[in-house]
Amino acid sequence: MSGFVPCDAIEGDPDCCLSCLHLQSCRRQACMRQGRWQNPNLWSCQERWVRFSDTRNAYLEVAHEDSCEFQPSTTVTTVTTVAGFGSRPEDWFVITGLSLFACCDLVLCVWYAILCMKWLRLRSHAHVHPEASSTNPNSPESSKIGTSTASASAPTAASVIQMGRNKLPTCMPEYWSYLPVPEQGWALHPVAGDELRTIRRMFVVRQPDELGKGRDAMTYDQTYSNLVVHCAWRIEHESLWPKYAAERNDVMRNMCQIRKNQLALDSWDSRLDDASQSMPGELFDEVGEKYLLHGTSPERLLDILHQGFTEKLSSLKGIFGAGNYLAEDPEKIDQYTRPDPGLGTPGLEELHSRLYRAGGNHHPDDDNIFYCFLVRATCGACLQTTGLDKKRLQDEITGKEVFLTADRRELARVPGTSPSFSYHSLLVNLCTGKTYGAAVARFREIVIFEGNRIYPEYLVAYRRV
């Protein structure tokens, strides 16, 4: 038991003990400082000791890469174990609970029970805090989040997430509610306050004269000049998020190859970028992650809520390929929405029962409610064009290949990559001149051909006024 460094907690100071999660009560710490800890009758041979620094830093919580599991660390010193007991975090809880109970310290027992429940919830949801640090992911320090600033000569007990050098977080976002999830595997939570105000900032109409126009716009019997957000929900989907996070890391590996080979890519900014900075969570520029909009009809809402976006059902007649079409302008996505006729509409009973619950958002019970998604999209290496040729396979101006195959389900390969991979998204810029193929003249469009690169994070209900 040589080398054990007792914590400098002061007897009777529960805040100090709780701040570093002592595996002993303050009373036992006092005994240790007096040298009585050497008495074998005071301790069980199954107990483990943790080396703490004299800084009384945060508790030790080490996770290996993105598994979000507690793992042993070099700062842990095992004194004695019996038949492997103590090798799991659950064993530590048992040991500590017995120690606190033996000391008859009711306050510490209550606080300890709360900490245990919190840990079990974190473990069940595989939750970490990806935003615990503002370190640049490209810097050498990006492999650690929430690391201590103490010197190497004085190791501290710090909250650390070990991540791969070129990996992004894959665990559920920290700003999620983590309330029990219904059987369908996802939950809708009404948003309010700053979160809702930021969504409204994203939904600003800049060209009111263009509302209701376009080849896909449905005839509407009322004149309107603005779109106003009525309410919104945050979508917490335990199945879709891991798929999105895994696909985002695949794009990250591709982007690392692009940077390593110093390949040139045209950058672009979305009109939603400025407002996106006020949203909870982080968007990762390394993979071109952005918030974008997607309009839809009430009849399709439940399918997207259940399954997310998929390119498999995309129409081959899409002007820019069989992908998922997104936009940065609410005027654009308004073309593709259809009105919700109101509560009690046949075929929409299940949708209304899930969206408009008691104590949550309410339906105005008229036919002036429309829906769109505010999605996270990993755009990665973005191929930009101002229009396609008559066959809709090549860029009309440069003649470069835009699609890999004639069915236009996959984009062309990124030049200079080995092993090669396709562009991750297609940005269609505005065409100002005469064109003989496919182009857009009013609003840019973003097309993504892999559904898992899109996560529907918010459902927005809006009105035409």
Q: How far is CA 214 from CA 45, 58, 228, 332, 345, in A?
A: 76, 57, 20, 8, 28
pLDDT at 133 over 90: no
Residue 451 · residue 313 · CB < 8 Å: no
pTM score > 0.85 for this model?
no
- Residues in the chain, total: 465
pLDDT category at 122 given cuts 50, 70, 90 is: low
User: What CATH number has the domain bearing residue 379?
Assistant: 3.90.228.10
State how far the Cα of 121 lies from the Cα of 75, in Å rounded to an integer. 25
Over its C-alpha atoms, the chain yields an Rg (Å, rounded) of: 28
Indicate whether 243 and 101 sit together in one domain.
no
Is the pLDDT at 152 greater than 70? The verdict is no
Domain assignment present for residue 6? The answer is: no
Phi, psi of 323 (to 5 degrees): -135, -170
Cβ proximity of 183 and 355 under 8 Å: no
**CA distance linking residue 232 with residue 356, whole number of Å:** 11
DSSP 438: B
> Which of 167, 161, 89 has the alpha carbon at shortest distance from 128?
161
355-368: pLDDT as tens digits: 999 899 999 989 99
pLDDT higher than 80, residue 126: no
Cβ(373)–Cβ(304) below 8 Å: yes
Lowest-confidence range among 22-36, 114-128, 199-213, 439-453?
A: 22-36
> For 350-354, what is the mean pLDDT?
95
Residue 177 resides in a domain: no
Cis amide prior to 346 (ω within 30 degrees): no
For 247-258, what is the mean pLDDT? 97
pLDDT mean over 307-319:
84
User: Between β-strands 425-428 and 382-385, what pairing exists: parallel, antiparallel or unpaired?
Assistant: parallel
- Whether 315 and 267 map to the same domain: the answer is yes
14, 33, 36, 38: which is closest to 25 by C-alpha? 14
* pLDDT range class, residue 314, cuts 50, 70, 90: confident
Q: What pLDDT is attached to residue 156? A: 34
- Is pLDDT larger for residue 103 or for residue 372? 372
Please name the amino acid found at residue 423.
Y
Where among 129, 162, 195 does a domain terminate?
162
Could you tell me what percent of the chain has a pLDDT over 70?
66
Which pLDDT band, with edges at 50, 70 and 90, does 114 fall under?
confident
For residues 282 and 334, membership in a common domain is answered with: yes
Residues 141 and 246 in one domain: no
Axis-axis angle for helices 106-124, 89-102 (nearest 10): 170
- Span 12-20, average pLDDT: 39
The Cα 387–Cα 393 span in angstroms is 10
* Per-residue pLDDT band at 213 (split at 50, 70, 90): confident
Domain count for the chain = 2
Residue 409 has pLDDT above 90, yes or no: yes
Question: Can you tell me the distance from the alpha carbon of 216 to that of 231, in angstroms, rounded to the nearest whole number?
Answer: 25
Assess whether 158 and 191 both reside in one domain: no
Question: Distance from CA of residue 427 to its chain's centroid?
Answer: 23
Q: Which domain holds residue 288?
A: 186-464
Tell me which amino acid residue 390 is: K
Q: Flag whether 399 is in a domain.
A: yes
Residue 178 maps to a domain: no
196 and 156, same structural domain? no
Within a domain: 395: yes
Residue 209 DSSP symbol: G
- If pLDDT is split at 50, 70 and 90, which confidence band does 145 have? very low
Comparing 130-134, 300-304, 357-361, the range with the smallest average pLDDT is 130-134
Residue 172 is assigned to a structural domain of this protein: no
Report d(CA 171, CA 186) in Å as an integer.
Answer: 16
State residue 136's pLDDT score. 42
Quote the pLDDT of residue 222.
Answer: 86
Determine, yes or no, domain membership for 121: yes
Confidence check: pLDDT of 39 > 70: no
Same domain, 291 and 331: yes
The answer to whether 79 and 87 have CB atoms below 8 angstroms apart is no
194 and 132 together in one domain: no
**Roughly how many angstroms between the first and final C-alpha of the chain, as a whole number?**
75
How many other CB atoms are there within 10 angstroms of residue 234's CB atom? 21
Q: Are the C-beta atoms of residues 79 and 48 closer than 8 Å to each other? A: yes
Give kind and range of the element (H or E) at residue 29.
Answer: helix 26-33
Least confident of 107-121, 161-175, 374-388, 413-427: 107-121
**Based on the domain organization, do 119 and 49 belong to the same domain?**
yes
Residue 103 has pLDDT above 70, yes or no: no
The token pair that represents 215 in the structure block:
């080849």
Range 77-85 average pLDDT: 40
Other beta carbons within 10 angstroms of residue 366's beta carbon come to: 12
Question: pLDDT higher for 244 or 84?
Answer: 244
SS3 145: strand
237 exposed, middle or buried (CB, 10 Å; 0-12, 13-18, 19+)? buried
Is residue 1 a part of any domain in this protein?
no
Which residue would you say has higher pLDDT here, 334 or 19? 334
Question: Is residue 65 left, alpha or beta, with left meaning phi > 0 and alpha meaning psi from -120 to 50?
Answer: left
Tokens of 112: 């300890």
More confident position, 461 or 74: 461
